[in-house]
Amino acid sequence: MREPRIVTTRALGPDFAVGPAERYFEDYVPGALYEYGERTVSEREIIEFATAFDPQDFHVDAAGAAAGPFGGLIASGLHSAALAMRLLTDHYISWVASLGSPGLDALTWPAPLRPGDRVRLRAQVLEARGSASKPERGIVRTRVQLLTDRDAIVVETTMANLLARRPSSP
């Protein structure tokens, strides 16, 4: 299990009863809604990510982007999704029971993420279903949103996560 790395973000409302290092499939209860944050996204970060993975003008060239379709620099959609993922792994996904993810449902970027935006994560448990074939695990479906402090939604998706059940007491 990794050491906690959380220095800049925190729960912004009700949190799970147990921390991510003690959390198992059983702790994800449909309907529960959590928010974590915040994190300010810099122009440097946006350009650095996009230079590596998505070097379109409106992601890497601040001057050119001003005359482009978004009137300024915006983050790559995959960068926005990766920022949501970091908040999920710091706060929401168990550090001890995670067995990976088969994928996401539709991933959309309703609003662009711009330099200086402060973002927070909203995660709501939609479904928690035990596995029929593997009784020691279950699948959790979560509605994930990344929002700015003006409540613009910059990432929206539904994520599936496989999680181990809590081991029985001896």
- Residue 22, interface with its own copies (CB under 8 A)? no
String of contacts with its own copies for each residue 75-104, x by CB under 8 A: -xxx--xxx-xx--x---x-x--xxxxxxx
What CA–CA distance (Å, rounded) separates 143 from 148?
Answer: 17
Binding range to its own copies, per CB under 8 A, among 9-17, 66-74, 117-125, 145-153: 66-74
| Residue placing its CB nearer to its own copies in the complex, 32 or 164 | 164
> Contact at 8 Å (CB) between 126 and 158?
yes
**Nearest CA among 115, 124, 112 for reference residue 153:** 112
Amino acid at 116: G
What CA–CA distance (Å, rounded) separates 96 from 106?
Answer: 27
> Contact at 8 Å (CB) between 137 and 161?
no
Out of 1, 7, 17, 132, name the contact with its own copies by CB under 8 A.
1
Out of 70, 116, 118, 151, name the contact with its own copies by CB under 8 A.
70
Binding range to its own copies, per CB under 8 A, among 1-9, 35-43, 123-131, 144-152: 1-9
